Structure 1
Amino acid sequence: MDYKDEEVRKAWELEQIELKKQLVTTNLFDWNLDDGSLKYVAGVDISFVKGNEVDACACLIILTWPELKVVHSSFEMVQLTLPYIPGFLAFREVNFLVKLLDKLKAEKPEIYPQLVFVDGNGYLHPRGFGLACHLGVLTGLPCIGVGKTLMYVDGLEIKGVKQKFKKECLKPGDYSLLVGESSQVWGAVSPIPSTPHHSPFSPPPSP
């Protein structure tokens, strides 16, 4: 990392700290899973063009709940021109995801999601403010980060997490809480039915 990246990192860290003050980690949404009030959920992701670290595709998928029927999909080719610095992924990606959600809200408000699943970490983050938290604060939507790799925070390490996962997650629907040395719950690990050995790290919803 050169001095310019270090300056960017410091500025972004301060911005994360300020934005985190708006983060809501309690359940304040107006739906629950038991009464049919949750009707639409979303998934968002940004995928790179193979062999290219700048050109990428931002995507938004809307599904009905609990049927998981796709009712909307939108895609936009984007260029990620800001540098990638570990722990600051949101600064490269979040504005493109906000744009897709804003466009949907303007054009099809009747299917605007009540919950968003984000390809990236949320609360499981060095400053407790990953991409999912960042998106949640900017949009006001509850967001769940679904990370594919473990972030080493609060004493969490992959060996211990895997051992706990193998002991507690024996079938689809099981999950194992990610509890740090401070007793803070950073998220959960849950098996995917089609790939039982894969364990995404899913932080709590935000906001």
Structure 2
Amino acid sequence: RPPDMNAAPAEELITEWESEQARLRRLLVLEDTEAWQSGPGFSGLQRVGGVDLSFIKGDEQNACAALVVLSYPHMELLYEDCRMVTLTAPYVAGFLAFRETPFLLDALRRLREDRPELLPQVVFVDGNGVFHYREFGLACHLGVLSGLPCVGVAKNLLQVQGVQKSEEHQSQIAALRRGGDSFPLTAASGAVLGKALRSSDKSSKPVYVSVGHKISLDTAVRLTHSCCRYRVPEPIRQFACSPHVGFLHVSPESNGD
């Protein structure tokens, strides 16, 4: 019998997840680690990946786990893997990674085994990195477990750690005049957890960029902007254009963690 995704998870499970999240967070690297990250034009960067889980409307158990790899800087499709999967873990705010990461890691494992020469040098995740309740979102979880540099890019603002969709926030968005403009997402503690980025001249609505793993925030923002033809970076936007997943919609949960 399939698990009840709406049932309240046992306290033991939450405690186990909290412990594992804290353990993995100690392995997080928030700085640039790759040679291609240092130059203004990202010289040496050839392959950028994107991952996402998309859901059929009304079905929170079955999803399409997708991985694409694009060439950089031309954004041409090099590799695509879309598989229907059945989720077994419940959705709990702040612990989205335990529900989704296993299937995304599977896609990366298949790529490593089948076409290792196409392994991405950085992965964009449709969700958050350190901009998270405990500063360890989906992009961090995937980054640490895969060992790859990761960038979290969320379409909706996660109101967390004192960051609010306030009048001040709206006025900061209005002040983003052109693609590449950004402002910091500052927690009540004073820590900068990410940046709101106007990713394209064509879109006044920002995306929310945060570090996943093995990349600095400034580099993550520059890279996101360089991969945007429209509002959403191409490695993530490609899913909406794929014939395999065109009938699916992204669960609102994917922006929460």
**TM-score normalised per structure 2:** 0.75
Alpha-carbon deviation of 1:175?
1.4
2:109 alignment partner in structure 1: 102
Give the alignment partner of residue 187 of structure 1, picking from 175, 185, 194. Answer: 194
Give the root-mean-square deviation of aligned CA atoms: 1.8
Are the equivalent residues in 1 in contact too, given 2:65–2:104 (CA < 8 A)? yes
1:91 matched to 2:91? The reply is no
1:26 matched to 2:31? The reply is yes
Give the alignment partner of residue 47 of structure 2, picking from 40, 46, 54. Answer: 40
Give the alignment partner of residue 59 of structure 2, picking from 52, 71, 83. Answer: 52
The one-letter code of the counterpart of 1:109 is P
2:238 alignment partner in structure 1: none
The one-letter code of the counterpart of 1:201 is Y
User: 1 CA distance for matches of 2:132 and 2:42?
Assistant: 33
Alpha-carbon deviation of 1:3?
6.2
**TM-score normalised per structure 1:** 0.92
**Aligned with 2:99: secondary structure?**
helix
User: 2 CA distance for matches of 1:76 and 1:149?
Assistant: 25
Deviates more, 1:58-67 or 1:28-37: 28-37
What do the CA deviations read for 1:162-201 (whole angstroms, capped 9, x no partner)? 222222x111121121122322111111124376242221
**Aligned with 1:73: secondary structure?**
strand
**Aligned with 2:113: secondary structure?**
helix
User: 2 CA distance for matches of 1:21 and 1:99?
Assistant: 23
Are the equivalent residues in 2 in contact too, given 1:144–1:204 (CA < 8 A)? yes
CA shift in 2, pair 1:134/1:205, >3 Å:
closer
The one-letter code of the counterpart of 1:161 is H
User: 1 CA distance for matches of 2:169 and 2:34?
Assistant: 30
Are the equivalent residues in 2 in contact too, given 1:126–1:151 (CA < 8 A)? no
Over the matched positions of the two proteins, sequence identity in percent amounts to 40
The one-letter code of the counterpart of 1:162 is Q
1:68 matched to 2:75? The reply is yes
What do the CA deviations read for 1:84-110 (whole angstroms, capped 9, x no partner)? 001100000001001101111111111
**Structure 2, gaps ≥5 residues long:** 1-5, 215-257
User: 2 CA distance for matches of 1:106 and 1:29?
Assistant: 23
Are the equivalent residues in 1 in contact too, given 2:130–2:140 (CA < 8 A)? yes
Give the alignment partner of residue 144 of structure 2, picking from 126, 129, 137. Answer: 137
User: 2 CA distance for matches of 1:43 and 1:194?
Assistant: 22
1:113 matched to 2:120? The reply is yes
1:162 matched to 2:170? The reply is yes
Are the equivalent residues in 1 in contact too, given 2:139–2:211 (CA < 8 A)? no
1:123 alignment partner in structure 2: 130
What do the CA deviations read for 1:97-143 (whole angstroms, capped 9, x no partner)? 01101111111111110010001111000110000000000011110
**Structure 1, gaps ≥5 residues long:** none
User: 2 CA distance for matches of 1:35 and 1:193?
Assistant: 19
**Aligned with 1:193: secondary structure?**
coil
User: 2 CA distance for matches of 1:117 and 1:25?
Assistant: 15
Higher relative contact order (CA 8 A, sep 6+): 2
